[in-house]
Structure formats: C-alpha cells, structure tokens
Amino acid sequence: MPDITIAVPNIGLKAYFKFRDPINTFITNKYNLDTDTTKLIVSSIISMKDMIKNDLRDPYTNIYLVAAISEAEYKKDLLDDIVIISFTFIDNKDIERTFRVPINYIEEISDVTNIDYAEKLIVISLNKLPLNLDTTMHFTDLLDFIETRLGIVPEIKEVTVGNVELVTTLEHTTRETVRTNMVTVHKTNEIKLSELQLAYNELLNRLVLLQQSIP
C-alpha cells in the first residue's frame, strides 16, 4: 500500500505544503520555490488512471521521470490508482506556475486556521542630512509613538546610506534654516514629562503653604 499521510485536500485550498523527496528537490530546483514561505493553491485533483484516460497525459513522463522517481515506483502507484494533485502559485516574476504531485509524495499540509506572522520593517528616508546631525535624540519619541499606537516596542537604528554629498557652507546654512523652521515640536516626551512633574510639585508646594497659612 502507498504511504499516504494526508487526506485529499479540497480544490481551492490555499496552504503551505511539505513534499517528500525526490519531488521536493525537483520543485525546489525547477521553480526556485520555498515551500516554507509560499502558499500553494490546490487547482485540480484527478486519479492517475483518469489522468491517462481523460486528460491524455502520461504521469510517468510528466511527473515521475522528471523528478527522478523510478519506473518501478510509478507502476506501483499506477496499480494503486494514486491521486494526482495540481498546485498553482505565483513566482517572484508574478507568473502563475503549475506543477503536479502524487498524493503519496505530500508529507504535510499546514493548518489553514494558522495566522501568518513575519518580521516587519518600517523604512523612513530622511533624505540627505549633515553627517554630524544626531537623530538618536528623537528615538524616544519614535519609540513612544509606535508603542502607544501598535502596542509593540520596536528596535530603532540610525543607518547612513548612499554617497556622501559635499555641500558649501552657504548651502548648508540655507538647508538647516529651512529644516529647523519646519520643526514644530522641540521637546521630547521625557522633557514634557519632566516639566509636568515640576509643575505638579510646584502646585503641591503651594497647596502645602496655603494649608499652613490657614489658622
């Protein structure tokens, strides 16, 4: 009996599939496909004998031979009338690709209720600025902004990219004047908090003095 470890999936199912070798090696090399990160869609399901009779396709030539599966294994699967499953996916050139796999060479199907997670980056280009301009002083505000809105604590780094542009002193002064005039918030949240704390302490002191002055 063939070693089948999955139930026949429904047509239209979109999930991550793991394949057994040599099928896995074949589709990885032929399609440059990473099955760990690419969801596949089940596009058709047909028995091997129906594929030969109705589709007039030769499973041995089209599937087994190109994947280096022996003719002996093919004959066993033909005798068992193994189900052939067709998959489609979009490659990195936005071209739809299709390949076929005997069901006994599918090792695992991911849980379709699982939620995909991946690391995300928010890239902000500040355009060209003086190399000695310290942007790290604003990291606290950026961290606070993201944490209070997304509920995550990000990691922020300053990275210098591209070629260095030499700017005259006059041009530098002009650019800095324009840039600083655009600034509307000059205080970080830490400074604002410190000022609020000082104001609060001042109010408490005045309240204490007021209470002391009451006979």
Tell whether the model's pLDDT for residue 186 goes beyond 80: no
pTM for this predicted structure: 0.61
The more confident residue out of 191 and 9 is: 9
- E strand or H helix at 40: strand 40-47
Residue type, 37: T
Confidence of residue 67 (pLDDT cuts 50, 70, 90): very high
Give the tens place of pLDDT for each residue, 78-102: 999 999 999 999 988 899 999 999 9
Work out whether strand 83-90 and strand 40-47 pair parallel, antiparallel, or are unpaired.
antiparallel
Phi/psi at 121 (nearest 5 deg)?
-120, 135
Tell whether the model's pLDDT for residue 159 goes beyond 70: yes
Mean pLDDT in residue range 177-185: 83
Mean pLDDT in residue range 114-138: 88
Q: Across 18-27, 135-144, 154-163, which has the greatest mean pLDDT?
A: 18-27
Average pLDDT, the chain: 90
How buried is residue 41: exposed, middle or buried, by Cβ count under 10 Å (0-12/13-18/19+)? middle
For 34, 121, 138, 143, 144, the CA distances from 157, given in Å and listed in that order, are 30, 11, 11, 11, 15
Mean pLDDT in residue range 195-214: 84
Mean pLDDT in residue range 162-191: 84
Q: Identify the pLDDT of residue 79.
A: 94
Tell whether the model's pLDDT for residue 1 goes beyond 80: no
Q: Identify the pLDDT of residue 188.
A: 64
Mean pLDDT in residue range 59-66: 95
Tell whether the model's pLDDT for residue 184 goes beyond 80: no
Confidence of residue 30 (pLDDT cuts 50, 70, 90): very high
Confidence of residue 210 (pLDDT cuts 50, 70, 90): confident
Tell whether the model's pLDDT for residue 192 goes beyond 80: no
